[in-house]
Amino acid sequence: MLRLHNNIKLTIIVSVALAVMQTAFMFIPPDAMRLYNLVLRPLVYAVLTVAVFVFMGFDARPVRKAHSANLIAVMSVALFGIILLVASFLSGAGRNLMTANSAIVAHNLWETGSIVILGELIRFKLIKSAGQQNRVYIIAVLTVVLAYGHMNAVRMLIDGNVIVWAVFFEAIFRPLVISAVLSYFAVEGTFKSVILVSFVYKMTPYVVPVLPDISQLVWALITCGTLFVTAVIYRFVTNEKRRNMKIREKRMLKYAKKPILSNAVTVVVVAVIIAFFVGMFPVYPVVILTGSMADTAPRGSLVFVERVPPGEAFIRVGEGEVIHFLNHTGVPYVHRVVDFRWDADGNREYVTRGDASDAADPFPVPQYDVLGIVRAQLPFFGYPYIFVRSILR
């Protein structure tokens, strides 16, 4: 029980540390990038790897499907190489600038290769040490976090307002697929199979001198497709359950008691969360999409707005409040009230301005167009919405 408890705590600590490290990469200035990649990031991964093995110990038990796992890993690498050769023949091949000289190759091996090896050590150890009850959650968390650690191209998406599909596949989809397949190998196979697949699929762009002349989108699709086929073949080869065993398990599940109360609670919690984000409560969330409030709530922040009924804005909204309102064209904005005045009918109008701007907004806001008052904010939590919104647009 103590070992299982340590595994859960370590997974949480490692996941938070890796997520913080990668998030820091998204926003550090360019002049600090070299120090981050060459020193800080490998050091953090190394410390976390040592901590995992110190607290969880070494496990020398043999893996039941070791031979099959290693065989499928080799087959996957070979299939990937064949597909790249065919792509080179069809589209032509060009010199890989990432291998222009030995110094660049050594730099890439240290900067990216060390992260690959240390990350897979962490993944394999935590997944193998997990109990059956919590393994699914640990696998899901590690899959997302370790994939996030290789989403360096997301920095390009944050800097821009529109997501190009090719960049999206290369920056987000490809790391997620690779990480998911590696987690499956970690559950069923050996560390040799995990590190072989991980190193080849992640390091090929950094160590192979000649690559096919294909786009980022095609490269991502080739990688993901080959890995998916590998996982399907691996599942088919290592599936040792007989048909009658599956039928027996289905019958047992059919007559098992259904956790009605827990399911009902889950449905209620999910419904409440959805209702909150849809805006059905007195407090509702809003994502900051521009930099007009950068000094207070930068782009990508998630702010929480207290709803103000139209007839109460006159009483509740004063100078200095940050409000959520509709401008003269009906577009919602979040700006600060810097002054107010009266219109011809005796209704209050608010003069607003973004904290990052020196000039007030050109049109005053009638009190009936005030939607709410901003009460709190969380930086960066709105970026997932910005990504999805950009894709849909």
Residue 163 has pLDDT above 50, yes or no: no
Q: Which residues of 314-330 are buried (b: 16+ CB within 10 A; e: fewer)?
A: eeebeeebbbbbebeee
Burial class (CB in 10 A: 0-12, 13-18, 19+), 115: buried
Per-domain residue ranges for the chain? 2-255, 283-392
- Domain 283-392: homologous superfamily in CATH: Umud Fragment, subunit A (2.10.109.10)
Residue whose entry in the numeric block shows the structure tokens 């709803």: 307
249 has a pLDDT exceeding 70: no
Mean pLDDT value across the chain: 81
* pTM, to two decimals: 0.59
> pLDDT digit string (tens) for 164-174?
555 666 777 88
Least confident stretch, 1-15, 30-44, 86-100, 279-293: 1-15
Q: What angle do CA 60, 47, 45 make, to 5 degrees?
A: 90
363 confidence band (pLDDT: 50, 70, 90): very high
Q: What are the pLDDT digits (tens) for 181-238?
A: 888 888 877 888 889 889 898 888 888 888 888 877 788 888 888 988 888 887 777 6
